[in-house]
Amino acid sequence: MSLLGKSLTRIDALGKVTGETLYPGDINMPDQAYMKILFAGRPHAIIKTIDTSAAEALDAVIAVFLAKDVPVNEYGMMLKDQPVLCGPGSEKPFAERVRFVGDQVAVVVAESVAIAAQACELIQVEFADLPVVSDPLVSMQEDAELLFPDKESNVFIDYHILRGDVEKAFAEADVVVESEYRTPAQEHAFLAPESGLGYIDEDGRVTVAVAGQWAHEEQDAIAHALGLPLDEVRVIHPAIGGAFGGREDMSIQIALALAAWRLQQRGINRPIKIIWSREESIIGHHKRHPYIIRSRWGATKDGDITAADVEVIADGGAYACTSTKVLGNATLMCTGPYDIPNVKVDSYGVYTNNIPSGAFRGFGGPQGAFAAETQMNKLAQELGMDPVELRMRNVAQDDTVMSTNSTLPKGVTLDKVIESCALAAGWNNGIAGWQRSGESAWPPKITGKTKNHIKRGIGFAAAFKNIGFSFGYPERSWAKIELHGETEIEKVVLHHAGSDVGQGAHTVFKQMAAEAAGVPVDKVEMRLADSAGKEDSGSASASRMTFMAGNSIKGAGEAALEKWRNEERPAIAEFTYRPPATTPFAPKTGESNPNFAYGYVAEAVAVEVDVETGHVNILDVICANDVGKAINPQQITGQIEGAVVQASGYTILENFVQQDGIVKTPHLSTYLIPTVLDVPDRVESIILEYPDEVGPWGVRGMAEMPYLPFAPAVIAAVKDAIGVWFDEFPLTPERVLRGLGEI
Amino acid sequence: MKPFEHHSPNSLEQAFDLITQDDNNSYYYAGGTDINLQLKSGILAAESLISLKNLSELKGIEYKENNGLKLGALTTLRELQRTKTIYNHYPALSQAAGLMASEQIRSFATLGGNLCNAAPSADLAPPLIALGAIATISSKFGEHKVPIEDFFLGPGETVLEEGEILMQITVPPPNGETLFIKHTPRMFMDISVVCIAIRLLMNNGICNEIRIALGAVAPVPLRAVNAEAELAAQPFSSNNISRAAQIAAEECSPINDIRGTAAYRRRMIEVLVRRGLSSLNENYSKV
């Protein structure tokens, strides 16, 4: 009676629907004080002086902290290029510079939220403005204004793939398709803006209770900035109101820790609380990277893709954040999951004075997939070939050598997801190959009168996405399992630091712990979401949590059962799972084994376009996703539907506008996310279960995958409907009308 | 946000007195859904806010077949949307209210507030202009009436003078078919990129009365008088409908902003006016 494959009700459901669950902003501690962070408010400047006297003169102001109060004034997941607080007085070179509007300048602690806000307004900051660099193409130029004067260039990372003879292949190609694609920034717009508490816990640890994705990384960043040993810092994750990558980098964590710690040094031991407004959240944390991707692909007339030459430019914004890895993914995925023998990719991550770019569901994959899949669909058109047939002729398989001069991990199922999706969307594989029959039942026919200005179309796309951290990162996940009882196991206790960001990870942990220990699920207790007493379990990102946590839980369960059989009571075992090693891109050729596992996905989308108003209405989506093993099918379906909704916002509606480094859409009234009326009428989730060789019980990660093919499938559907290719999105009504030549 | 005084007068007289006693940084407000944002963002620095919510003279919805509709300025958007007589007799007004904001905001936001805030995109203005509605304005010196068409002077500016309060909107008895159309990128909970309202009275297939009002395409909500003239005293055809739609697009003077360019707005006016006229014409053809 395995619990795997059962849609166990979410363990957090009751608390969340009744309001009993406490998110960080709901938590209040006795005697707490309130914090506000002063943002730079300008995109590029040197701070000459900061005068806090008027703010500090307010009675109810407890303290104001500046750059000089931060012992090691820097952080950043990949490059420590971001000051905790900008301004003069710290040892970090050029930390007196602000590089985007949301750079943090001062931390105010006061007796009330209102006083803290008033104090922020009284802080006098003298800026000397610098030229604003907002266009990554300008920023790349040699004479560009440098954001970091101690670096030689605003290009902070570059990768190169070179395999085969690209120019020779183009010379021999029958068909060449060339395009320049531009993808937009995107705001995560998670339900709960950043909030949390900073305090000194009962063991004297500097503690923050916040919503994050990776407690141990946050612990590390705080300890580094404060110059403290790791074990003097503690990070607790209460309930988390969504993340999507938007909590992967620091926002309020270091400021909260700094304030609590510095106050204690002054003999004031009070918890500090902050809740960001939606506007602070939109200005204050990173966005999905805007990309410029120039793609040239060649094929023979039989539809054999022979060459791809791609230039990839990512607007990294003001700080690197996770850009180096996001760019790595885009570099890999911009040539798609296809067998292309001759590949050249040159990719660049570039600083600008825009909001920093960072992690967001798909992590460089959606941008790469947009370029790759639109190239595929354009090639299909040029060749007069069905887009599914073209994919099937080039689809990567177990023995396919990819652009990185290596094969994918065994168990490639791209052909399976394409086949399942295509069959459900009315294709069939006949003598002439894959074709779509005109009689297809999909998409559902319109009943009633059709209007002349409404045009319908369908589109198809596929994608692959890595599971877990790539390019040589020392991936690991830790778990501890205790088995209690005498003759039989009466209680299982799982210790794990993995975050449930709202995706249901902890429910799945419970199912997997029960399975690992061979007990019913109600015998499992969990100790979660706190760095204290736990080793690193890694981040809730990269579609890795079920895969990585599952393997750690499985390993700890097996080890604990071994001890149980040896009659240890209680039987307690820890286990750190380490997946097969990966390697980084070789500098010139990009040779590598970039990833240890992948998920595969295909989508068909039906749209209608109003050619007079430019509205694109997404009618129906079929998504076939190989998840390896569905631990909790309801949660899988939820992730597919959620990804489709989020991707439909990205593709159609969400228009994040920055002009000269100033955010023009800092409100949810101007940055439009979909309502229930804007999302597809129907999403059909096809869950395939071809086990992954190293995944726990065969699990593959899946939460990002359905996001990736969505935008290119919609673009193809719109082309089918109105005959226009869009190389840039979101497909706002105005952009569609311009594409149609109506304005 | 700066600290400010707050008053909740219980009589009209008190309300009048409060504003003349203070300097000109005092503001009347009703639902508060606009002024709240303006205060928080620092666009507005008020020394004192005066709530009109307790004033019974500003309340009430009354419909009489011969006199039409009287709407107190405190009528909420939700009431406009859900009051059956309004829905039945003035569907364009009811629809416009129902398409604004969210259920929560519609429960607070008022008719008077939407007009006095005077955003060029105020959705209630075009239907009221098309319907020929009239505003009643009071101060301690007396009362006067202004057609809604003449109520707006510019973005955020109305004919209201210091110490004057918008009391009531009267709408003449229903006369013809009305319609409201709004264009937004998002299907719901979005501010108009453009909106239009039309009232059409046809007799024996001839256009007897027509009013076309446009929103979010000029400093103030405006009537497309040239487009109206194109159609007056004629039967409708696809030709004159298209021409009128083009004329309406030429009559407006939209701007480029975060929601759209001027060219796009003009184009949408043409499309919506054409669709609106065609749809109303079809309604008459069915009768």
Spans in chain A with pLDDT lower than 50: none
Interatomic CA distance for residues A479 and A557, integer angstroms: 9
CA distances from A89 to A73, A226, A425, A552 (A): 10, 15, 62, 45
Q: Which residues of B touch A653 (CB under 8 A)?
A: 185-186
Question: What's the farthest any 2 CA atoms get from each other in chain B?
Answer: 62
Q: Which residues of B touch A733 (CB under 8 A)?
A: 183, 185, 193, 264
Whether B23 has a pLDDT exceeding 80, the answer reads no
Flag if B183 and A613 touch (Cβ within 8 Å): yes
The nearest CA of chain B is from the CA of A733 a distance in Å of 6
Q: What is the pLDDT of residue A440?
A: 85
Flag if B263 and A657 touch (Cβ within 8 Å): no
What are the tens digits of pLDDT across the range B137-190?
999 999 999 999 999 999 999 999 999 999 999 999 999 999 999 999 999 999
**Facing residue for B264 by CB, picked from A677, A678, A743:** A743
Axis crossing angle, helix A253-265 with helix A215-226, rounded to the nearest 10: 50
Phi, psi angles (nearest 5°) of residue B157: -120, 135
As a 3-state breakdown, chain A gives helix, strand, coil percent values, each rounded to 5, of 30, 25, 45
The nearest CA of chain A is from the CA of B276 a distance in Å of 13
Q: What is the pLDDT of residue B21?
A: 55
Q: Which strand (E) or helix (H) includes residue A345?
A: strand A342-351
Mutate to test the interface with B, among A454, A616, A743 (most CBs of B within 10 A): A743
Flag if B186 and A678 touch (Cβ within 8 Å): yes
How many beta-carbon pairs below 8 A join chains A and B? Answer: 45
Interatomic CA distance for residues A234 and A380, integer angstroms: 54
Q: Which residues of B touch A678 (CB under 8 A)?
A: 186-188
Flag if B190 and A613 touch (Cβ within 8 Å): no
What are the tens digits of pLDDT across the range A325-340?
999 999 999 999 999 9
Q: What residues does A235 pair with on adjacent strands?
A: A208
CA distances from B241 to A3, A422, A503, B194, B207 (A): 66, 45, 53, 19, 12
Residues in Cβ contact with A125 at an 8 Å cutoff, skipping those fewer than 6 apart: A38, A40, A47, A49, A50, A51, A87, A105, A106
Flag if A678 and B191 touch (Cβ within 8 Å): no
Q: Which residues of B touch A665 (CB under 8 A)?
A: 258
What are the tens digits of pLDDT across the range A283-298?
999 999 999 999 999 9
DSSP string, B174-239: P-SEEEEEEE-SSSSS---SEEEEEEEEEETTEEEEEEEEEESSSSS-EE-HHHHHHHTTS---HH
Share of chain B above pLDDT 90, in %: 93
Say if B57 is an interface residue toward chain A (CB within 8 Å).
no
Q: What is the pLDDT of residue A566?
A: 98
Q: What interface predicted TM-score (ipTM) does this complex get?
A: 0.96
Say if B211 is an interface residue toward chain A (CB within 8 Å).
no
Q: What is the pLDDT of residue A438?
A: 75
**Facing residue for B258 by CB, picked from A665, A675, A733:** A665
pTM of the model: 0.97
Q: Which residues of B touch A734 (CB under 8 A)?
A: 260-261, 264
Q: What is the pLDDT of residue A11?
A: 97
Under an 8 Å CB criterion, which residues of A touch B? 117, 612-613, 615, 653, 655, 657, 664-665, 669-670, 672, 674-675, 677-678, 732-734, 737, 742-743
Whether B3 has a pLDDT exceeding 90, the answer reads no
Mutate to test the interface with A, among B264, B270, B273 (most CBs of A within 10 A): B264
Chain A residue at shortest CA distance from B190: A669
- Averaged over B27-48, what is the pLDDT? 93
Flag if B271 and A653 touch (Cβ within 8 Å): no
What are the tens digits of pLDDT across the range A608-647?
999 999 999 999 999 999 999 999 999 999 999 999 999 9
Beta strands in chain B (DSSP E): 5-7, 26-29, 48-51, 61-64, 68-72, 134-139, 142-147, 152-154, 157-158, 165-171, 177-183, 194-203, 206-215, 222-223
Chain A residue at shortest CA distance from B1: A118
Interatomic CA distance for residues A724 and A703, integer angstroms: 31
Flag if A612 and B271 touch (Cβ within 8 Å): yes
Flag if B261 and A734 touch (Cβ within 8 Å): yes
Which pLDDT band, with edges at 50, 70 and 90, does B241 fall under?
very high
The nearest CA of chain B is from the CA of A453 a distance in Å of 11
Q: What is the pLDDT of residue B287?
A: 63
Flag if A669 and B1 touch (Cβ within 8 Å): no
Mutate to test the interface with A, among B268, B269, B275, B282 (most CBs of A within 10 A): B268
The nearest CA of chain A is from the CA of B57 a distance in Å of 33
Identify whether the C-beta of residue A298 lies closer than 8 Å to the C-beta of residue A305: yes
**Facing residue for A678 by CB, picked from B183, B187, B259:** B187
Across A107-135, b (16+ Cβ under 10 Å) vs e yields bbbbbeeebbebbbebbebebeebebbbb
**Facing residue for A675 by CB, picked from B188, B191, B258:** B188
Say if B191 is an interface residue toward chain A (CB within 8 Å).
yes
Q: Which residues of B touch A737 (CB under 8 A)?
A: 264, 267
CA angle A366, A367, A369 (to 5 degrees): 65
Burial class, B55, CB count within 10 angstroms (exposed 0-12 / middle 13-18 / buried 19+): buried
Say if B183 is an interface residue toward chain A (CB within 8 Å).
yes
